[in-house]
A and B are shown apart, each in its own frame.
Chain A
């Protein structure tokens, strides 16, 4: 039966060259897009992304422990990152075979033949942990100054920075938005290499579901992409935008809400959700052309979230620095640093490459951290980085800054 479908498929492909003669052929595979992200087979849902929810929960616990100097150590945080030695407060997380680290810089598109860089990136995250729990922790009761880690006043409270003014928890968290969440969504699960792996198309057409599950492999891969964006337990699966800007998510969905709240980018959350819905419906209808059109929309939108936030924080930091509000400035620059780190994981559907490549990201990081880092950085540097990012994505610095 599989073979039959394959032959039919091959014949269809082989003869596509004569389609000009057949312009009035009926269009097959009409895609019916539901109101919500609700898909069923035999009255039971086919949507499942618990693995993504697990990793998002692990990430949340790492982030909340990152400044818990009383209880956390470099070892305990590193254990959480790798899920070793039962590091989490929840037994379910401890018993899971999954870890955050194993999915950092682990996409098929960018890293399957580039484990050298993948390993360097994982090591960067380990280094953020290590420095936070050694250098910064040691100095937590000292005032930070150029070249010296410590605490720094910011608004009504304090922040903890390293000798360059960088909050390592922000570098880690915002870096994870690109290195884990975005990379897995757009460069892994939504790639043809993953969606169409092996016999996925044939099995999807035949509605052959995975063992013990109600979904085809292709449906599930799509849902796993969906789960990295919308999988925080505080977000309703069917209608996630109903809590846009109000969920407990601290990663990509949170910043989707932030960017959507900027009038210059309003509608990006609806457009992203619609693309997820339509692409999933297209899979049900075996319409892979429409599916891949939605992939392009999702790639562009989610990549743009990273870029807009990076520019926004560079500009916010510049304003605060001008007012000599160092703590607040460093906070914004630290978030911005993490988003810049994440740019390497963006994907421009027109080129299938990052909008900003690794070499450029490395150059931005070097500029930001030169000398005493944020203590020394000039408004010109922040502007030139902002301009370069904005122009690569086709928006203006002013649009992102407000």
Chain B
């Protein structure tokens, strides 16, 4: 405390000493306050977050219904229907996973919906014993989309064999419970946005660490760094250990889905950056506009352009990957490492350059020390 006041005093002293020279010039840090943060929060909530959750909630509802039909009548035809609902919902999940704030944060929503890889042996034991409690945090890796993936794609080699597993009541109820839980958690999060949380979020315009902009920006960048970069690419590629682990990919048992999920997630993050409305090409206020308003530059170039260019690089690199990232790891992991390196460049642009430009403190640290 003593140190701060010394610092403040010194700063004020310096300030006072030069006011006469500087005339009416505003200090740079003042201009950010006149950007309409409330309008940006409203755009985020009304045009992106709320419609994304509404859409996702309809997908999880459909997923539950298709699961229900399949358990009532386990047929190969119904299995195909269920898979299609699963795929749609898993892709739509990529549009909301970054919004882990408010009710979602309170519920540990993302952990319950998408912790992978699943603990398959424990899951099978629990299914067969009929004894499980999916509300426990210790069961993150026994539910959500990864569990569903195993249950409808990984349980056996052929569709016929998978369907035959569902002659058992235990498998039927577990599958249904997993789908229901995805849906019920989503209903809860969606309802909170439809209710009072939207206004709390939009009105909390403070530029402190508890203000919506600061808090959400940390969540957004953390999502990109930990869940997108590390989760989808880094862990399977063995970036942190030097040992590739193909078993760590998202949607392990769906042969053709992991790259698509990855691309959907990158696009969703980019769209959010640009303030693009959900399901429309219209844009409103978001990070791009905020950075441009502040004339944020890096090495003589416009920062928001650098960030968008890097998203472009990531996406074009991604199109060269195998549609199964598991196969990509197994056949040519170097391309996975290249994907990681491009993602990391974006992490630096977002976490260091953008957050500094917006005067937002990083509230989490990538503490990889000893």
Mark out the residues of chain B between 1 and 36 whose CB falls within 8 Å of any chain A CB in the assembled complex: 1, 3-4, 6-8, 10-15, 17-18, 21-22, 27-29
Select one of A15, A52, A114, A118 contacting B15, CB under 8 A. A15
A384 at the binding interface (Cβ < 8 Å): no
Select one of A114, A123, A221, A286 contacting B341, CB under 8 A. A114
A206 at the binding interface (Cβ < 8 Å): yes
B237 at the binding interface (Cβ < 8 Å): yes
A394 at the binding interface (Cβ < 8 Å): no
Would you give the 0/1 interface string for B338-351, flagging 1 where the beta carbon is closer than 8 Å to chain A?
10111011001000
A199 at the binding interface (Cβ < 8 Å): yes
Cross-chain contact A217 with B241 (CB below 8 angstroms): no
Which of B47-55, B93-101, B144-152, B358-366 makes up part of the contact surface?
Answer: B358-366
Cross-chain contact B21 with A18 (CB below 8 angstroms): yes
> Can you list 30 A-B pairs with a CB-CB distance of less than 8 A?
A1-B4, A2-B361, A8-B4, A8-B10, A8-B12, A11-B27, A12-B10, A12-B14, A18-B14, A21-B17, A21-B18, A25-B13, A25-B14, A82-B241, A99-B241, A102-B242, A104-B242, A113-B345, A115-B337, A115-B340, A116-B334, A118-B239, A198-B361, A198-B362, A198-B363, A198-B364, A205-B7, A206-B3, A221-B369, A227-B370
Cross-chain contact A9 with B7 (CB below 8 angstroms): yes
A323 at the binding interface (Cβ < 8 Å): no
- B45, chain A: closest CB distance, angstroms: 25
Report the bound CA distance from A10 to B340 in whole Å. 34
Q: Select from chain A the residue with minimum beta-carbon distance to B240.
A: A102
How many chain A residues have a CB neighbour from B under 8 Å? Answer: 56
Q: Select from chain B the residue with minimum beta-carbon distance to A116.
A: B337
Cross-chain contact B6 with A28 (CB below 8 angstroms): yes
Q: Select from chain A the residue with minimum beta-carbon distance to B26.
A: A14
**Contact A286/B3 with A11-B29, A18-B21 known, Cβ cut-off 8 Å:** yes
Select one of A50, A104, A199, A217 contacting B361, CB under 8 A. A199
Report the bound CA distance from A54 to B28 in whole Å. 47
Select one of B4, B6, B238 contacting A4, CB under 8 A. B4
Cross-chain contact B361 with A119 (CB below 8 angstroms): no
Interface centre among B7, B13, B333 (most CB of A within 10 A): B7
Would you give the 0/1 interface string for A42-81, flagging 1 where the beta carbon is closer than 8 Å to chain B?
0000000111101100000000000000000000000000
Cross-chain contact B370 with A206 (CB below 8 angstroms): no
- B285, chain A: closest CB distance, angstroms: 23
Cross-chain contact A4 with B369 (CB below 8 angstroms): no
Cross-chain contact B17 with A224 (CB below 8 angstroms): no
Mark out the residues of chain A between 106 and 123 whose CB falls within 8 Å of any chain B CB in the assembled complex: 112-116, 118-119, 122-123
By a beta-carbon cutoff of 8 Å, the part of chain A in contact with chain B is 1-12, 14-15, 18, 21-22, 25, 28, 49-52, 54-55, 82, 98-99, 101-102, 104, 112-116, 118-119, 122-123, 126, 189, 193, 197-199, 202, 205-207, 217, 220-221, 224, 227, 286
Residues of A within 8 A of B340 (CB): 115
How many chain B residues have a CB neighbour from A under 8 Å? Answer: 48
B299 at the binding interface (Cβ < 8 Å): no
B243 at the binding interface (Cβ < 8 Å): yes
Cross-chain contact B14 with A11 (CB below 8 angstroms): yes
Residues of A within 8 A of B3 (CB): 205-207, 286
Report the bound CA distance from A224 to B366 in whole Å. 16
Residues of B within 8 A of A102 (CB): 240-242
Report the bound CA distance from A52 to B369 in whole Å. 10
Question: 18 new A-B pairs (CB below 8 Å) besides A2-B361, A7-B29, A21-B18?
Answer: A1-B1, A3-B208, A4-B8, A10-B27, A10-B28, A21-B21, A22-B18, A49-B370, A50-B370, A52-B370, A102-B240, A102-B241, A102-B242, A115-B340, A197-B362, A197-B366, A198-B363, A198-B365
Residues of A within 8 A of B7 (CB): 5, 8-9, 12, 205
- A195, chain B: closest CB distance, angstroms: 11
Cross-chain contact B242 with A82 (CB below 8 angstroms): yes
Residues of A within 8 A of B22 (CB): 15, 18
Report the bound CA distance from A162 to B309 in whole Å. 48
Residues of B within 8 A of A193 (CB): 352
Report the bound CA distance from A8 to B9 in whole Å. 8
- B29, chain A: closest CB distance, angstroms: 5
Residues of A within 8 A of B12 (CB): 8, 11
- B27, chain A: closest CB distance, angstroms: 5
B330 at the binding interface (Cβ < 8 Å): no
Cross-chain contact B17 with A18 (CB below 8 angstroms): yes
Interface centre among B208, B333, B366 (most CB of A within 10 A): B366
Cross-chain contact B338 with A116 (CB below 8 angstroms): yes
Cross-chain contact A220 with B369 (CB below 8 angstroms): yes
Q: Select from chain B the residue with minimum beta-carbon distance to A122.
A: B242
- A3, chain B: closest CB distance, angstroms: 6
Residues of A within 8 A of B364 (CB): 198
**Contact A14/B29 with A116-B338, A116-B341, A220-B369 known, Cβ cut-off 8 Å:** yes
B133 at the binding interface (Cβ < 8 Å): no
Would you give the 0/1 interface string for B255-289, flagging 1 where the beta carbon is closer than 8 Å to chain A?
00000000000000000000000000000000000
Q: Select from chain A the residue with minimum beta-carbon distance to B18.
A: A18
Residues of B within 8 A of A55 (CB): 370
Q: Select from chain A the residue with minimum beta-carbon distance to B336.
A: A115
**Contact A5/B242 with A11-B11, A49-B370, A113-B344 known, Cβ cut-off 8 Å:** no
Residues of B within 8 A of A199 (CB): 361-362
**Contact A8/B11 with A116-B337, A205-B3 known, Cβ cut-off 8 Å:** yes
B209 at the binding interface (Cβ < 8 Å): yes
Q: Select from chain B the residue with minimum beta-carbon distance to A11.
A: B11
Residues of A within 8 A of B342 (CB): 113
Would you give the 0/1 interface string for B92-112, flagging 1 where the beta carbon is closer than 8 Å to chain A?
000000000000000000000
Report the bound CA distance from A9 to B3 in whole Å. 12
Report the bound CA distance from A25 to B11 in whole Å. 11
- A190, chain B: closest CB distance, angstroms: 13
Residues of A within 8 A of B359 (CB): 6, 10
